[in-house]
A and B are shown apart, each in its own frame.
Chain A
Amino acid sequence: MEQHQPPRATRGEPAVYQIKVKGQLSADWCAWFDGMTITQDATGATLITGLVADQAALHGLLRKVRDLGLTLLALSSSEPGELDGLAADSGDLPGA
C-alpha cells in the first residue's frame, strides 16, 4: 500500500493496534486490556486488538502484557477502518 502521509500512529493520534501474544486468552480478559477485543488466530496465539489513544496508552498495554509474563510475538498498527483485515494476518500491515 502506498503511504502518502505517515500512519496515524506516528502522529500521536488514536490508532488501531494489534498485539499478538503466545497462548490462548479467553474473552474474559477483554476488560483487563481496557476493552480491547480478544481473539485467537489459527496458530493458537491470541490477538489483542483495538483503538489505542496514543503512545503512552500503548506502552501501558505493553506493560500489562509484560507483567502477566505473556510472550509478545508481534505488534502492528493501522488506520481505523482497516480493522477488518487485521485478524487474518497482522504482520504485513502498514506502520508495523
Chain B
Amino acid sequence: MVRPHLIARLNAGLHRNLTLLAAPAGFGKTTLLSQWLDGCARPVAWLTLDASDHEPTRFLAYLVAALQTVVPEFGAGLLAALLAPQAPTPAAAVTDLINALATLAQPVVLVLDDYHLVNAAPVDAALGLLLAHQPPQLHLVIATREDPPLPLARLRARDQLTELRVSELRFSHTEADVLLSQTEGLSLSAEVVAVLTSRTEGWAAGLHLAALSLRGHQDAASFVHSFSGSQRFVLDYLLEEVLQQQPTLLQQFLLRTSVLDRLCGPLCDAVLAMPVGTGQATLEAIERANLFLIPLDDQRCWYRYHHLFGELLQQRLPQEAAMDAGAIATLHLRASGWYEAQGLLLEALHHAAAAADPARLAALAERTWAQMDSSFQADAWGRWVGQLPEEVLRVRPVLCTQYAWALMDIGQTEASEAWLRHAERWLPAAHSTESASHDEMASMVVVASELLPSLPARIAAARAYLAQSRGDFVAAQQYAATTRELSAETEPLLHAQATVLAGVSQWATGALEVAYRAFAAWVAQTREAGNLAFALASGFYLAEIRLAQGELREAARLYRQFLTLVPADHEALRMAAPHLHLGLAVIAHEQGDAQAATLHLRTSKAQGEQAALIDWPFRWHLAQARIEASSGNWEAALDLLDAAERRYRPNPVPDLRPVAALKARVYLRQGNLLAATAWVAACGVTATDALSYRREFEHLTLARVLLAKLTRSVIARSRREHVASDQHDVLDLLTRLHAAAEAGGRIGSQIEALLLQSLAHEALDDSEQARIPLQRALVLAEPEGYVRLFADEGTPLARLLERERDTGGGMQPYLHSLLNAFGKQAAVHPSSSIPHPLIEPLTAREREVLRLIAEGLSNQELAARLHLSPQTVKVHTRNIYSKLGVASRTQAVARGRELGFLERS
C-alpha cells in the first residue's frame, strides 16, 4: 500500500543532502523507499549492503557499480582502479568519486539499504568524507536499523537531513485499516483493526503476519482475542500461527532453507536432498503465498527471505524440525558442496565455516587458493582461513604457505612470516631449521598434494618478497637465489618470478646493469612461454632502468618496441599501453619535443582512464607535475604532486624519486627557500652523508637547496667565512655525487651534478671554473638530446650557455637548440591535454585575433590593424581565453595550434 504523507515528506527532502530511514527490522523501510523512488523523476542507484561490505574499497567499488546502472559511463577508470589488486586509498578514491559526481549532467539518488550491516569504521569514514564534500548532483538515502556514525547533528542543524524514524513509520489506525482491508483483502471491524494496531504497535511486519494468520482462521474473532490477550512477543506468536497453517512439507522446507542467505531451486534441492525441480516449484508457491520471500532477480532464479522472517525461522529450526546441531551442520555441508560445484567459492567457504567443520573448511580453502588468488579474492579467502583453529591450520603446510601469501598481499608481514615458519616445520630437514619429529609427521595433512614438492621454493619466494618490501635488499636477493635454485627444474614460472624479484632488489642498490639483465631474461622467458602480460609489465621496467641510466634514446626505443607488442584486441593486456605512452611522453618532454609529449600524454590519458595498471594514476600525475613545473606553473605542479602522493601504492619496485623531494625542487624554483629548507630537516639528508643510489635524488635536491642558500648569501654579501663553509659543503657534495653517478654509469645524474657545479662556481664569480663542468655536461647530454634538464634551470644557466655559444666553442647547433628552449614554456597543459572539441567554437573574428596574437602583435597593434577599439580587442581576447580554457597569450597560441586554428610553427 502507498503511504502518501510519507512520500510527500521524502519528496520534500530531495533538495537536502541526506535522507535517513532509521527504524528496526520490519517497519517497511525498503518497501516505502521502492514506492517513493518508483515514482521519482530522478534516476535511482540502489545498493543493498551486506556484512561482507566492511572493506572500504570494495564498498566504494559497489557504490560506483550501482551508479553505473543509471549512468553507464560513470567512473569507469575509478571502478577499474578499485577492483585492481592494489586499489587506491579510500580517501583518494572518494576524492575521485566526488569529482566524477560533480561532472554529472543531472542529479541522481543513491540508496544505501541495510547500512547497519556494514558495521565498519573505515566505510563510515569514507561515507563521511563523501557527505562532507557532497556535490549537489547527489542525493543520498540511507536505510538502517541503527543510526549511522555520521555527523547527523551537524546535518540537522544545517537543514541538510530528512529523517523518517519509527514514530513516522508506524502504521496509524487508519493506515492499518487500509492495509488490512485493501491490500490483504480482509473485511474487519473497526474494533478488530484497533486491537491489531495496538497489539502490533503499528509494526508493518506484525500487521502483515497478523493478516496471514487471519486468512487461515475460520474464527477471526477468537484469533484476535487470544492474540491480544497474549503477552508473547508479537512475531513469535504470529509466526507460530502462520507456520502451523502451512502443510507439513512446506513448514519443513521453510525451516530448513532458513540456513541459506540466498535461495534458488537447485540449491534447495541439494540442501534438502529432494528430487530435482521440487525446490523451484516450492519457492514459487511460497512467493505466491506471500510468505516473506523476496525475488532477487527478474527471472525468479534467486530469492531470499525477508531478514526478520528468516531469523525467526532459523530460531525455530531446532525445535520445530527436531534438528540437532549435527543435522543442521549437514544442511550447511550440502550447501557448501553445491556452491563449490557451481564454482561459487566464497559461498562454499561460508557454509563450510557455518557447518563448524574446520577440516572441511581447511580442505576447501587449500583446494581453492589458486583460483581465489588469481581472481583477486585472496583477501576474503584469508578471512575464512583466519577463522580456523590454529591447531587445524598448523598441521597443513600447503595451507599455511597459502595463508602466508594471502597475509603478505595485505601487508601483514609479521603474521605472514610466522605462518611460513609453521609450514617449514613439515618440510624435509634440508629446508627447515626446526623440523617436526617423526611422530608428529603422522599428523600432517595435505589436501592439494601436487603442491607439496614446490613448497620450499614458494616459501623462499614469499620471504624474498617480504624482505624486498621492508627494504632488506640483501636478504631479498638471498631468498630469491634460493627460490631459483629450488625451482629451476620444476617450476618455471616461480623460477622466473624469483629472477625478477632479485632484479628489483639489484635495482634499488644501484646495480642497474645487473637488474637490467634479470628483467631482460624474464621478459625473454615469459614471451617464450607465451605469457605476454608478464612480458609487457616488465618491458616497462627495462625502459625505466635505461631511463635511470640516463639513456633517453634507448629507453624510448624500448617503450616503442613494447608498444608494438600490445595486442589491440586484448582487454587485460591493453592496460600496459597507457604506461608505455606515459614513458614516451616524459622522454619527449625531456628532449624538448612538446608536440610529441602532448600526443603521448593524450593517448595515455584516454586509454588510462578506461583501464590501466595499478600505478598509472600515480605516474600520470607525476608526469603532469613535471610539465607544469617546466611551464612555471608552480602551484599547479605542487597540487599535482600532492595528488600523485595520494595515489601512491607501496610495491617492491623502489621509489627513487620521493614526492617530498620533488616538491622541495618546486619550492626552490618558486623561490621558497624556507619550505625547501624545511624539507631538508624533515628528510634528514646532510652534505656529509655517505652516498647511496637510493638517496641520490634526495642528495641532488639537497645540493640544490645548499646552492640556493649560497647564491642568496653571496648576493646579500653576508659574512665571508659563512659563505666559505657553504661553498665547501655544496662543492664537496656535488663532486662526490658526480663521482658516484659516473661510477654507477648514470648519465642523467652526472649531467645534473655537473650543471649544479657550474652554477655554484658562477655564483662565486668564478666564471672560468664554471665552464669546465658545463662543457663536460654538454658532451654527455648532446648524444641523448637532453633539453629540459638545462632549460628548467632558468636564467642563470641560460647566461652560462650564451657565453659558451659566444666563445664559439664546439656543439654550436646543440647550444642553439638549448637556448631556444629557454625562451619557450613547455606548451603542454593538463587542463587542455584531453582531446575534446571546444564547447563553444571560436567566431571568425576571434580566430583572426588569435592568428594576430600568434604573430606577436600587442593589443594596441591588434586594435590598429583591425580598426577596433582596444576595449573591443580585450573583449575578444577574453572570450578566446575562456573558450580555449587558457590564461595567457602564450597558452592561447599553443592551444590554438593543437586545435588546428593556427599553422604549426
Could you tell me which A residues sit within 8 Å of B by CB distance?
A: 21-26, 28-29, 31-32, 44, 46, 66-70
Contacts and interface: CB of A to CB of B under 8 A. Distances in A.
Given A28-B319, A29-B315, A32-B315, A67 B232 contact: no
A43 B236 CA distance: 18
Given A68-B311, A69-B203, A24 B233 contact: yes
A25 B234 CA distance: 9
Contacts of B205: 69
B308 A68 contact: yes
Given A24-B233, A26-B236, A29-B315, A69 B146 contact: no
Nearest to B318: A31
The 4 closest A-B pairs by CB, nearest first: A23-B233, A44-B231, A69-B24, A69-B25
B186 to A, nearest CB: 23
23 contacts: A21-B233, A22-B233, A23-B231, A23-B232, A24-B232, A24-B233, A25-B236, A28-B315, A28-B316, A28-B319, A29-B315, A31-B315, A31-B318, A46-B233, A66-B24, A66-B146, A67-B308, A67-B311, A68-B233, A68-B235, A68-B311, A69-B24, A69-B205
Nearest to B312: A68
Contacts of A46: 233
Contacts of A21: 233
B233 A25 contact: yes
A70 B236 CA distance: 10
Given A28-B319, A29-B315, A31-B318, A67 B307 contact: yes
Contact of A68 (B25, B27, B316): B25
B26 interface: yes
Contact of B25 (A22, A29, A44, A67): A67
A44 B312 CA distance: 21
A60 to B, nearest CB: 11
A69 B315 CA distance: 14
Taking each of B307, B315, B318, which has the highest tally of chain A beta carbons within 10 Å of its own beta carbon? B315
Interface in B306-324: 307-308, 311-312, 315-316, 318-319
A63 B900 CA distance: 65
Nearest to A40: B231
B145 interface: yes
Interface residue SS majority, chain B: helix
Given A28-B319, A29-B315, A69 B235 contact: yes
Contacts of B232: 23-26
A26 B116 CA distance: 27
A25 B25 CA distance: 17
Nearest to A45: B231
A85 B589 CA distance: 82
Given A67-B308, A68-B308, 6 more contacts: A25-B236, A31-B315, A67-B145, A67-B307, A68-B233, A68-B311
Interface residues of B, number: 24
Interface string B533-566: 0000000000000000000000000000000000
A6 B190 CA distance: 55
Nearest to B206: A69
Taking each of B233, B307, B315, which has the highest tally of chain A beta carbons within 10 Å of its own beta carbon? B233
Nearest to A70: B233
B311 A23 contact: no
Taking each of A66, A69, A70, which has the highest tally of chain B beta carbons within 10 Å of its own beta carbon? A69
A69 B236 CA distance: 11
B626 to A, nearest CB: 50
A69 B308 contact: yes
A62 B25 CA distance: 14
Contacts of A67: 25, 145, 307-308, 311
Nearest to B205: A69
A24 B116 CA distance: 26
Contacts of B203: 69
Nearest to A64: B311
Nearest to B116: A66
A5 B771 CA distance: 81
Contacts of A32: 315
A24 B236 CA distance: 9
Contact of A23 (B234, B307, B312): B234
Nearest to B145: A66
B381 to A, nearest CB: 24
Interface string B24-39: 1111000000000000
Given A66-B24, A68-B25, A24 B319 contact: no
A24 B231 contact: yes
Contacts of A66: 24-25, 116, 145-146
Contacts of A68: 25, 233, 235, 308, 311-312
A70 B574 CA distance: 55
Contacts of B230: 24
A44 B237 CA distance: 14
Interface in B4-37: 24-27
Contacts of A28: 315-316, 319
A13 to B, nearest CB: 23
Nearest to B230: A24
Contacts of B316: 28
A32 to B, nearest CB: 5
Nearest to A33: B315
B48 to A, nearest CB: 16
A69 B316 CA distance: 16
Contacts of B319: 28
A68 B236 CA distance: 10
A23 B116 CA distance: 24
Taking each of B27, B235, B236, which has the highest tally of chain A beta carbons within 10 Å of its own beta carbon? B236
Nearest to B25: A69
Contacts of B236: 23, 25-26, 29
Contacts of A22: 233
A27 to B, nearest CB: 10
B387 to A, nearest CB: 15
A25 B24 CA distance: 18
A26 B24 CA distance: 21
Nearest to A21: B233
A81 B25 CA distance: 35
A28 to B, nearest CB: 5
B312 to A, nearest CB: 7
Interface string B309-345: 0011001101100000000000000000000000000
B847 to A, nearest CB: 68
Interface string B195-226: 00000000101000000000000000000000
A22 B231 CA distance: 9
B203 to A, nearest CB: 7
A46 B236 CA distance: 13
A80 B604 CA distance: 67
Nearest to B146: A66
A43 to B, nearest CB: 9
A18 B232 CA distance: 19
